[in-house]
Structure 1
Amino acid sequence: MGRTIVITGGTSGIGLGLARHYAQAGDQVVAVGSSEAGGRRLREEVPQAHFVRSDLSSVNQTRDLVERLSAEYPAIDALVLAAFRFNPSRIRTDEGFEHTFALYVLNRWLMAEGLREPMGKAPAPVIVNLCGAGQGGRIHWDDLQLEANYRGATATMQGAKASELLGMAYADERVKYVLYNPVFVATSLHEPFKQPLRGVVRAVSALFAQPVAKAVPPIAALIDRPPAEPLTAWKKSKPIDLAVDAKQARRFEQTVRELASASTG
């Protein structure tokens, strides 16, 4: 058995594409998804991969997932954070968080922090966070859960900025952290929308989005040969510079830590 690759959101889109790529290469692939339908799709398309079902928008289920993965896989070579869902309307999780914040921010922080130990035992460990790095998002410090003025794009852009800050705060010389912005890829972006907008989004995606098959190779190259720097950011296959304030990164990481701790049940 080759390397161990853990992929959240590994049952659709780029996550599924990466699962297929690494399973075919002979690596041990662990694909995490929220639905049994996704698990069936994975088993049909990538029978070699191992499916783990977990609600990644739940802090408590994510903590349980981290404990399970740490126990079953003593060394993890790569962690791909690909789980994402665009929410046109505000959704509140059972634990009281805005859904995009829970999935795009809390889950990714918990996964990266919780798997430090098994990742530190791999020869060349790397975290690849698929996000909107370099898009100019901002943190809404006075309303992190966007209760006052929710917009799907606002929540998404805040999550993208959160990835930049949490990547900076991770700061581990041993485990490399890669922020990767795939830009517009033909995935399931249209699914959360209602008709007729769903049809419009699907049509635009078919015309202009990059196919998953083309999006996978540059990401796989970074997994196979992690950059030397602790934190790097990429837009498609090109490196980009980020203006990330270290003090703000530490402040935001502490805020996320406190929010996650407060919700533990």
Structure 2
Amino acid sequence: MSRTIVVTGGTNGLGMALARHYAERGDQVVAVGSSEEGGRRLREVVPMAQFVQSDLSSLRQTRDLVERLSDEHPVVDALVLAAFRFNPVRVETDEGIEHTFALYVLNRWLMADGLRGSLESAAAPVIINLCGAGQGGRIRWDDLQLKDRYRAIAATMQGAKAGELLGAAYASERTKYVLYNPVFVATGLHEPFGQPLRALVRMASVVFAQPVAKAVPPIAALIDHPPAEALTAWKKGKIIDLAVDRNEARRFEEAIRPMAQSASS
């Protein structure tokens, strides 16, 4: 039976590989990307998938996207949150939100929360949040958008920790929430950097990164057979223990909710 799989960041890297995997199996795949160029690339590689263009760092566009997907797909079997961009320097969106925080945190919260009804209507719904689970990131409570001192690694690690908290805060009796850390995958990580660092990162990717094709099967296994537990964390296909403070998770959700809603209204 055909299922509906929604993949954000579905026009590049691991997201597109997952889109291709499920489209070739005959499932209905909705791949979301920010550019028409990405859409053309998707249509060349995965012509069976549906492309939806949306700037996922824009909270207004994310809200419009959620409304569209909810209307067009009243049943969503899996939501894969894969959109990410490494920002070497601090960048703000048109809505005045630090880009990493907007894309890696607020967008993922809005997508999961907004598609809750469609997910709950599926037989075995699951959310796959591709993130840096278990890497020891921390929340900068006094400066969530890193206005005072921006460091790209700090922004990325905070996003990874935020993913853990969002997973813990997502209360659902049916939809399973999976935090999945693919670690180092060859998905063009070098592209945001300037030379000579770009060349060095690209070389490291060639030597050390896991091929995309190898990273897909363990993630697909979790989509096809969601875990029994409400929240689980995985690293390269192996389950990991992850102690998340539920009070901290609720506190974080309460902190970002008004930020996301005011910027999206």
Taking structure 2 as the reference length, the TM-score comes to 0.99
Whole-angstrom CA distance in 2 between matches of 1:264 and 1:108: 14
Partner residue in 1 for 2:210 = 210
| 2:226 aligned with 1:226 | yes
Partner residue in 2 for 1:132 = 132
Partner residue in 1 for 2:198 = 198
Q: 1:9: Cα distance to partner?
A: 0.2
Partner residue in 1 for 2:75 = 75
Assess if the C-alpha contact under 8 Å between 1:76 and 1:125 holds in 2.
Answer: yes
Q: When the two structures are aligned, how many residues end up with a matched partner?
A: 265
Assess if the C-alpha contact under 8 Å between 1:30 and 1:50 holds in 2.
Answer: yes
Whole-angstrom CA distance in 1 between matches of 2:32 and 2:264: 21
Q: Secondary structure at the match of 1:239?
A: strand
Q: Partner amino acid for 1:105?
A: V
Alignment of structure 1 residues 1-16 onto 2, 5 Å: 2-16=2-16
| 2:95 aligned with 1:95 | yes
Alignment of structure 1 residues 147-162 onto 2, 5 Å: 147-162=147-162
Q: Secondary structure at the match of 2:264?
A: coil
| 2:175 aligned with 1:175 | yes
Q: Secondary structure at the match of 2:165?
A: helix
Q: Deviations over 1:45-77 (max 9, x none)?
A: 000000000000011000000000000001000
Whole-angstrom CA distance in 2 between matches of 1:189 and 1:72: 33
Q: Deviations over 1:132-189 (max 9, x none)?
A: 0000000000000001110110000000000000100002121000000000000011
Q: 1:264: Cα distance to partner?
A: 2.7
Runs of 4+ in 1 over 2 A off after TM superposition: none
Assess if the C-alpha contact under 8 Å between 1:171 and 1:231 holds in 2.
Answer: no
Q: Secondary structure at the match of 1:80?
A: strand
Taking structure 1 as the reference length, the TM-score comes to 0.99
Partner residue in 1 for 2:49 = 49
Alignment of structure 1 residues 238-257 onto 2, 5 Å: 238-257=238-257
Cα RMSD for the two superposed structures:
0.7
Whole-angstrom CA distance in 1 between matches of 2:61 and 2:111: 11
Q: Report % sequence identity.
A: 75
Partner residue in 1 for 2:141 = 141
Q: Secondary structure at the match of 2:213?
A: helix
